[in-house]
Amino acid sequence: MLAYVAKRLLSLVPVLFVVTIVLFLIIHVTPGGPAASILGLEASGEEIAELNQELGLDRPIALQYVSWVGKVLRGDLGNSIFMNQSVAQAIREHAGPTLSLAIIAQFIAIALAIPFGIWAAYKRGTAADFTLMGISLLGMAVPGFLLGLFLMLLFGVHLQWLPVAGYKELSAGFWEHVKHLILPGLSLGTIQAALITRMTRSSMLDVLNLNYIKTARSKGLRESGVLLKHAFRNAFLPILTVLGQTFGTLVTGAVVVESIFNIPGLGQLILNSIARRDYSVIQGVVLVATLLYVGINLIIDLLYGAVDPRVRLDRK
Amino acid sequence: MRREQRSLAIRRIGGSPAFVAGAAIFLLLAALALFAPWLTSYGPYDMKVTERLNAPSGTHLLGTDEFGRDLLTRLMYGARVSIGVGLVVALLSSLLGLLIGVYAAYYKTLDHVLMRICDGLVAIPGILLAIALMAALGASALNVVIALTIVFTPNIARVVRSSALIVKEQTYIEAMRAQGAGDLRIIWRHIVPNTLSPLLVQASFVFAEAIISEAALSFLGAGVPAPEPSWGNILQASKLVIYKAWWMVVFPGAIIVLSVLSLNLLGDGLRDWLDPRVKGKRT
């Protein structure tokens, strides 16, 4: 197992190297260079040169990269030009709402998807199965931000059941907090729910055809026991992978959904930074989100290895 | 024999309801975009202040926007931008992905370099990479194409590479090499044609993804800038008038869903058609 962990960790090195190169270079593809972009059209050559010096952009590019990565490794993501605070601080302040939203969306996705998936597999080939699969196909075709607008229109504007937009801290009370995140959570979680439903169904179908399920049934076990205790446990591994992958997508998908519902998370931070040309913040947020995404996938992979010994034997 | 095969193939794909429905819806949308000037008497930029935010009616079938512009007209012209961006991104990333995938599969040293770059690019969440690129490049339709091509190419390259690797290991390729066939000939005459079907399927999904991404970017204000209509920036405007004008949300939203759904159906149909296991079952 240790060798597997080490190998998996090592494989991340080139990935992270490329990620840092790409994110580092993004700043440098701005037309006219970042300093000119930040200062705007009316800036004089002197002002641009001054800012370049201040930002360290006048040094050779390789040197800039090395010093940037060195700082990142120490947790220093640079400073926001506009907000007068460090990027790390800004990210910490905005991470809470994004994380809350992602967790609620994941909860919604699992709560919908796993029962539906099991049901569709159990009722395979019937109208119930076709309906569920049809809905999930539609769920995958509706992007989160669009669903968000639809939900906002229906439940916020017309029915007025839930707040149209906004965000309340957890300190304002659990229900207040959750209430503001239900619509965003639904808009974010539906695509994941659709994916997980399909995955659950197909992975249940694989298992339901196996002989030990027939044995369980012929022993006279109740159908619910066969489905949940015998079949689902073995069908869970592929579902676990999808869960991990979708949680990563949730964190990043949150960025778009936040902007619809005015949630002051990382998404809003990055969008405001685009308007202010605050490049170090954009770089920082994307880097942190990527690390989170890569980290979650790593954990899932390791879990997979821990749960299913075949995985780590295969890859040795 | 070949003609027979071809007619059989056409009949088979014609018999796939998913493919036919997808193709029909998509062609309809494309026709609306293409023939927009002949289908509507309004222009996409014609403002009429007295007709601001009018609900759907006989004069404005889908209503008007906050500047009194005809929404149906804006959506039809917007389709040119949105479908256009999607199509160009699908074509460009297919071409680049094909080159990268095939050459990576064929030359081992190149493989290490190219695939590590692809791994890195794939590790960055797509929409965030696109947002960051748009922030650096500046908002414009061309830059959306550039950003999304960078985002989607690695996925296609991986798909092409994996099918090219299988072809490369076949005995007949070895035989060709033994007969003295050059690399270029082997790659372009024998490997490339065999990677085209998975590429085609993948391209149809990238097409759909690119339409969604363009809409998301424009919706966030980092894509195609107003007043040029795109489905995304029409939706962006709708958010501000959501209390007053439901049609500004529902119709652009529906057209995006329809286009994505149709492309997904098309892709599914193509995959079923090209997948040999399904082929075996139906013939």
Task: State the nearest Cα–Cα gap between A221 and chain B, in angstroms.
Answer: 35
**DSSP state letter for B222:** S
How many beta-carbon pairs below 8 A join chains A and B? 137
| Residue A118 · residue A200 · CB < 8 Å | yes
Taking contacts as CB-CB distances below 8 angstroms, the residues of chain A near B209 are none
| Residue B138 · residue A31 · CB < 8 Å | yes
**DSSP state letter for A170:** G
Q: For residue range B33-80, what is the model confidence (pLDDT) as tens digits?
A: 888 788 787 777 777 777 777 778 777 777 777 777 877 888 888 888
Cβ of B116 within 8 Å of Cβ of A143? The answer is no
pLDDT of residue B35: 85
Percent helix, strand and coil across chain B, each rounded to 5? 80, 0, 20
- Out of A22, A140, A248, name the one closest to residue B120 (CB): A22
pLDDT of residue A310: 66
Question: 């969008």: which residue's tokens?
Answer: A271
DSSP H/E element including B199 = helix B192-219
- Out of A30, A137, A255, name the one closest to residue B127 (CB): A255
| Residue A206 · residue A235 · CB < 8 Å | yes
pLDDT at B276 over 60: no
Burial grade of B156 (CB within 10 A; 0-12, 13-18, 19 or more): buried
Q: For residue range A132-150, what is the model confidence (pLDDT) as tens digits?
A: 888 888 887 788 888 888 8
Question: 């501000």: which residue's tokens?
Answer: B240
ipTM value, please give it: 0.81
Rounded to whole angstroms, the Cα distance separating A195 from A210 reads: 24
Mean pLDDT of B253-278: 80
Rounded to whole angstroms, the Cα distance separating B157 from B154 reads: 5
Reported confidence tier of residue B101, pLDDT bands at 50, 70, 90: very high
- In three-state form (DSSP H/G/I as H, E/B as E, the rest C), the secondary structure along B120-181 is HHHHCCHHHHHHHHHHHHCCCHHHHHHHHHHHHHHHHHHHHHHHHHHHHCCHHHHHHHHCCC
Mean pLDDT of B263-268: 84
Reported confidence tier of residue A229, pLDDT bands at 50, 70, 90: confident
Mean pLDDT of A14-42: 79
Which amino acid makes up residue A265?
A: G
Cβ of A149 within 8 Å of Cβ of B235? The answer is yes
Question: 């460009």: which residue's tokens?
Answer: B92
Report yes or no: A157 at the B interface, CB cutoff 8 Å.
Answer: yes
Number of H helices, E strands in chain B: 13, 0
Give the residues across from B125 on adjacent strands: none
Which amino acid makes up residue B223?
A: G
- The pTM (predicted TM-score) of the whole model is 0.84
Average of per-residue pLDDT values in chain B: 84
Instruction: Please give the structure tokens belonging to residue A215.
Output: 């044995």
DSSP H/E element including A271 = helix A266-276
Q: For residue range B78-96, what is the model confidence (pLDDT) as tens digits?
A: 888 889 999 999 999 999 9
pLDDT of residue B102: 92
Rounded to whole angstroms, the Cα distance separating A205 from A235 reads: 9
Cβ of A150 within 8 Å of Cβ of B221? The answer is no
Mind listing the domains of chain A with CATH numbers?
A: 2-73 (no CATH), 99-264 (1.10.3720.10)
- B138: closest chain A residue by CA: A30
Q: Phi, psi (5° rounding) for residue A244? A: -60, -50
pLDDT of residue B280: 38
Rounded to whole angstroms, the Cα distance separating A187 from A252 reads: 13
SS3 A219: coil
- A255: closest chain B residue by CA: B128
Report yes or no: A291 at the B interface, CB cutoff 8 Å.
Answer: no
pLDDT of residue A32: 67
Cβ of A271 within 8 Å of Cβ of B123? The answer is no
